[in-house]
Every structure is written in structure tokens, then in C-alpha cells.
Amino acid sequence: MNKLFLLTAFFFISQSVLAQDYDFTGIKADKEERYELLEKIKREREYLDSLSYVRKLDSLGRLFDYVNTDTSSYLAFSVHVEHVPGEYDKLLNELSANGFNTSEGAIAFGYGFTLKKRRFIHEFDFNIIWGDKMKSDNREVVQVSGVNVSYIFGFDLLNTSKFSLFPFVTVHYQGTELEYTRNPASGQSYDNLLDLPADISHIALRKGAFRVGFGGEIDYYISKSNRAGGIILGFRYGMNQTVSEGNYKSEKHEVDYDPEITLRDSYFGLVIKFYGRTSFN
């Protein structure tokens, strides 16, 4: 009898929730039954209140994440390749006069990290520069190479969902290296260590320079998500000017010789960035 009464009571309650007016006149019970029914209703109400709280908390959390995630800001890891023109006429003239095949210019490979906050862009890059090997018929090889560590600051003029266009200024350290190597003749043997320098030699001249520059980059979001991240394809062009530079050194000793090598006065590069969105707080 009690079970039948409770089922009937819950039926009336559930029906009344869906109705415009609440009518509980069909529920009749003695004091004990009313107490048991009241306890069940309290438990159900607490359970429903907890579900409602969780839903509200979850929705507020999602709303906070949505608002707190700036779709125009990101943190990215980038890889890039650059064509690096070079000028070293003096060195080329010296090598040509001694039977070397000559070429100038280099290619650079590197990686970097980019932080974009709204329209402002901060980037740290590291590049390794490789020039062509110039060889002679006398087993000699000369190569120009270098490293470049730079900081870039830019401002996005477009700041759209598909494109970014930003001019930038940059400061960087550039190291230049000139290597000369003479390899031993094939099948040659030696009985004395002091005989080797006459046939085998390696000279590495290095110098460092502090440079400033400017340029521009256009980025296209080839794969994107407003909340998660994606992939950016960029094209970059820049020009640099030396502010100060040191002298060439070999094994930490200064050498009074200047091959007049100029690297990366201008450059054109392809950049691929893998980015994730960041909050603006």
C-alpha cells in the first residue's frame, strides 16, 4: 500500500512539473507517509541542484576559456630556409687566379620561436649558413659559411583570420667563417708527422658582427583552428646593415687578412610555423 502511494505521489509531482499550474490535491497521506515522501523529495532536489551547479560551472568554465583565448594571438615553432646572396669579389679573384672554380651566395636553414600578442610579433631565430664549396685541381677546398642569431619585432597590419602582413625590425649577431682545406693525395703515406703540413692543411678564419635590419613578412594560415592552432606558411624579405664587427681570428689569434666577405645583406626566405593559441592574460 505504501509503495503504491509513493508511486502515485511521484506521478502527480512529475505531471505537475510539466503543467502550467501546480495541483497536489490528489496526494493524501498520513504523517509517516508524508515524512517519507518529503525525505525522498529532498534527496531528489539536492541531486538536481548538484547537477544544475555542475552544468553552470562547466558552462562558465567553457565561456571563460572561450573569452580568455585570443584568436589573434599564438605561440609558434618555426622552420625556415633562406636564399642568402653574398658578395666577396676579392676572395673570388684570388681563387680564380689559382685555378679554383668559384661561386658566391649561400643558403640558410634555421628554426625559431614566435610569440604573437594581438598585433605585436616577437620572434627569436637561429640560422646556419652554407656556401658552395669552391675546389681546385690541387685537392684544395674553400668554403664560406656562418651562423646568425636574431630577434625580430613586428606589427601585423592586416590581422585577419587568413592573412598577416607585418613589417619588422631586427637586431642580430652574425658569425662568418672562411675555411681552407688541402686534402692528402690518394694513396699517400707518411713516415714523419712533420711531413703532413706540406701536404695536408686546414685553416679556419672566423669573425663576428653586430647587425641591425628591417624587412617584411606575409603569412597565410593554410591550416587553422580559432581555438587550437594550426600551420602558417610565410614569405619573408629583409635587409641588414653592420653596426660593428671584429677582426678575423684563427684559433683565437687575430689574423691581419680580410677577404672582404659580405653575407646576408639581403635575404628572401620561406617560413613554416606550427602554432597554438594563447590566452591574453
Residue 185's φ and ψ, nearest 5 degrees, are: -65, 150
**206 and 85 both lie in a single domain:** yes
CA 62 to CA 69: how far, in whole Å?
11
Render pLDDT for 23-55 as a digit per residue (tens, 0 to 9).
555 555 555 666 676 677 677 677 666 656 555
Residue 87: which pLDDT band, with cuts at 50, 70 and 90? confident
With H, G, I as helix, E, B as strand and everything else as coil, classify residue 45: helix
Q: Which of 75, 116, 106, 27 is nearest to 229 (CA)?
A: 75
Residue 259's φ and ψ, nearest 5 degrees, are: -75, 0
Strand spans (E) along 20-93? 69-84, 86-87
Higher pLDDT pick, 174 / 188? 174
**12 and 144 both lie in a single domain:** no
Joined together, the cell numbers standing for residue 62 give 567553457
Render pLDDT for 133-154 as a digit per residue (tens, 0 to 9).
899 888 899 999 999 999 999 9
**52 and 97 both lie in a single domain:** no
Per-residue pLDDT, 20 = 46
**36 and 95 both lie in a single domain:** no
Render pLDDT for 247-265 as a digit per residue (tens, 0 to 9).
999 988 999 999 999 889 9
Domain boundary among 67, 89, 116: 67
Domain boundary among 28, 47, 67: 67
| Inter-residue contact 106 to 134 (CB < 8 Å) | no
Domain ranges, residue 54: 2-67
Grid cell 659580405 is found at 262
**9 and 105 both lie in a single domain:** no
**177 and 82 both lie in a single domain:** yes
Strand spans (E) along the chain? 69-84, 86-87, 106-117, 120-135, 140-155, 163-182, 201-223, 229-245, 249-250, 253-254, 262-263, 266-279
Give bridge partners of residue 54 from the DSSP assignment: none
Please give the angle made by the CA atoms of 233, 234 and 240, to the nearest 5 degrees: 155
Number of domains in the chain: 2
| Inter-residue contact 267 to 180 (CB < 8 Å) | no
pLDDT greater than 50 at residue 278: yes
